[in-house]
Structure 1
Amino acid sequence: MALIQNFDIFILLYIKNHMYGHMMDKVMIIVTSLGNLGAVWIVISILLIINKKYRNVGFMVLVALILSTVLGEGILKHVVQRIRPSADIPAVKLLISKPLSYSFPSGHAASSFAAAGILAKYLKNYAVEFFGLAALIAFSRLYLYVHYPTDVLAGIILGLICSKMTIYFFNRLSQKQQSLCRKGD
């Protein structure tokens, strides 16, 4: 565990020493706010739900967001109970208000990759943009010193698993509906 903790701190200090700047501070605060409560992904899902052609994709995004929140924020954070880097390394001045929950896994990364995984599968022409936004939101959590790199990595993995589980669930549901329709004919 000490090796992982040292690696995490090394990465955070590298970001702090090589990437910090007044303009980046402002950009990262805006980027991270897009991920607050999954806001940007909820807006995208609502826009998709409004459009009949993409309604199912919008619902899938919402389910993936809920699943990642329940597993990450509701279960894993309370099991692992990892404190945030800002508590471990108090010399760093936070640019945003200190999050109240535990650090592992990153909820921003989990929700962003859960949504991006769904969106990239069904809106392939925008896959790079969806994953790019998700990665930027995840990186903002490191930049802002509210997560360790392994928190973010775990959030990414959790989010992608949630997107796969949601796709599987919706595919199974669709197959059952088609089977029932055929039996009814």
Structure 2
Amino acid sequence: MENLNQAEAGILLWIQENLRTEWLDHIMPYVSKINDHGILAIIGVIVLLLWTRYRKVGITAFGSLAVEFTIVNLLIKPNVQRTRPFYVLEDLHLLGSLPTDFSFPSGHTGSAFAVATVMLMCMPARYGVTAIVASALIAFSRLYNAAHYPTDVLCGMLIGIITGVIASLLYKKYQKKCNEGE
């Protein structure tokens, strides 16, 4: 476990020393902020719910997001209680607002991927790919801003993808049953 912690610290310090630039230091906190409290994911769900053609996809995305939120914020974070990396590594400097919850797993990343995965699996590729790219950018911003360890982001992404895949498969199964009943 200690080797993993050292490797993760090394990755974060490498990002800080080699990838940070003045202009990205201004942009990346905003990239994270757009999904504070899952707001971008919630807005995505609302847009889908209002878009008549994709209303059922919106319901599916809502289900995925609700399950992801429950797993990440109500089950894992309070039980694991992983300290944020900028508190542990004195050479690491947080960009953006000070997070108030625990680090593992990344809720920003999980919520973004929960909705994006549903969009990728249930909508035309242009929408899903755009959502996945936005989610990946949010995930990277969490590392760039030193708000999370790499495993926080990776596990948040996996939880989001898994909830998105399960919700999408249930949606497709439901759609198939509805179409067979016609």
- In the superposition, the TM-score normalised over structure 1's length comes to 0.90
What SS does structure 2 have at the residue aligned with 1:30? helix
CA positional deviation for 1:97? 2.5
Residue 9 of structure 1 corresponds to 9
Q: Which residue does 1:108 correspond to in 2?
A: 108
In 1, Cα distance between the equivalents of 2:126 and 2:94? 37
Aligned to 2:34, what secondary structure does the other structure show?
Answer: helix
Give the deviation of 1:127 after TM superposition.
Answer: 2.9
Distance (Å, rounded) in 2 between the aligned partners of 1:126 and 1:36? 22
Are 1:138 and 2:131 counterparts? no
RMSD (Å) for aligned C-alpha atoms: 1.8
Identify the residue that residue 85 of structure 1 maps to in structure 2: 85
| 2:18 counterpart residue number | 18
Q: What does residue 96 of structure 1 align with?
A: 96
What is the SS of the residue equivalent to 1:102? coil
Structure 1 segments of 4+ aligned residues over 6 angstroms from their partners: none
Whether the 8 Å CA contact 2:86–2:147 is kept in 1: the answer is: yes
Structure 1: distance between partners of 2:164 and 2:153? 16
1:168, CA displacement in angstroms?
Answer: 2.9
Q: Which residue of 1 aligns with 2:35?
A: 35
- Tell me the secondary structure at the aligned position of residue 64 of structure 2: helix
Matched residue type, 1:32: S
**Kept in 1: contact 2:16–2:92 (CA 8 A):** no
Deviations 1:151-172 (A, max 9, x none): 0000111110110121233344
1:55 aligns with 55
TM superposition shift of 1:86: 1.2
Rounded to whole Å, the distance in 1 between the matches of 2:5 and 2:92 is 17
Residue 28 of structure 2 contacts residue 141 of structure 2 at CA under 8 Å; is this kept in 1?
Answer: yes
> By how many angstroms is 1:82 displaced?
1.0
Measured against aligned partners, the alpha-carbon deviations of 1:112-163 in whole angstroms (never above 9, x if no partner) come to 1111100111222233221110000011111111100010000111110110
Q: Deviations over 1:46-93 (max 9, x none)?
A: 122112111011111111111111001110112221111011113433
CA contact (8 A) 2:13 2:92 kept: no
Counterparts in 2 of 1:26 and 1:85: CA distance versus 1, 3 Å: same
In structure 1, the gaps of 5 or more residues are none
Partner of 1:44: 44
Q: Partners in 2 of 1:176 and 1:75 — Cα distance? A: 33
Report if aligned partners of 2:46, 2:58 keep a CA contact under 8 Å in 1: yes
Task: Tell me which residue corresponds to 1:125.
Answer: 126
- Larger CA Rg, structure 1 vs 2: 1
Distance apart, 1:96 and its partner CA: 2.0
